[in-house]
Structure 1
Amino acid sequence: MSNNLNKAEMEKFDKPKLKKTETQEKNPLPSKRTIEREKQVGDS
């Protein structure tokens, strides 16, 4: 029963009212080169 309610709400949703946002990655993964450098420093 709740699935039907959720589906009805989604169908009524007005997508054009959404604001455009730009996504920025806050915590990017290190590159392979950076990882290799850190491994070499740790081994020394």
Structure 2
Amino acid sequence: MSDKLGMAEFEKFDTSKLKKTETQEKNPLPSKETAEQEKHAGESY
């Protein structure tokens, strides 16, 4: 019963009140080339 009440609140939520934000990736994954270089560098030890 509480799920139905929660959905009703969700459906009438006004998204225009939300602030616009820009997302920035803080820890990007290395490129495929970088990963290959590191893999081959580790094999030489």
Task: Report what 1:39 is aligned to.
Answer: 39
Paired residue total = 44
Structure 1 outlier segments of 4+, above 4 Å: none
Q: Share of identical aligned residues, percent?
A: 70
1:1-44 correspondence runs (5 A)? 1-44=1-44
| TM-score normalised to structure 1 length | 0.84
| Partner amino acid, structure 2, of 1:36 | E
Q: Distance in 1 between matches of 2:41 and 2:20?
A: 43
Question: TM (normalized to structure 2)?
Answer: 0.83
Task: For structure 2, list consecutive stretches of 5 or more residues without a partner in the other structure.
Answer: none
Distance 1:42 1:15 in 2: 50
Displacement of 1:16: 0.4
Task: Provide structure 1 residue ranges, at least 5 long, that are not aligned to the other structure.
Answer: none
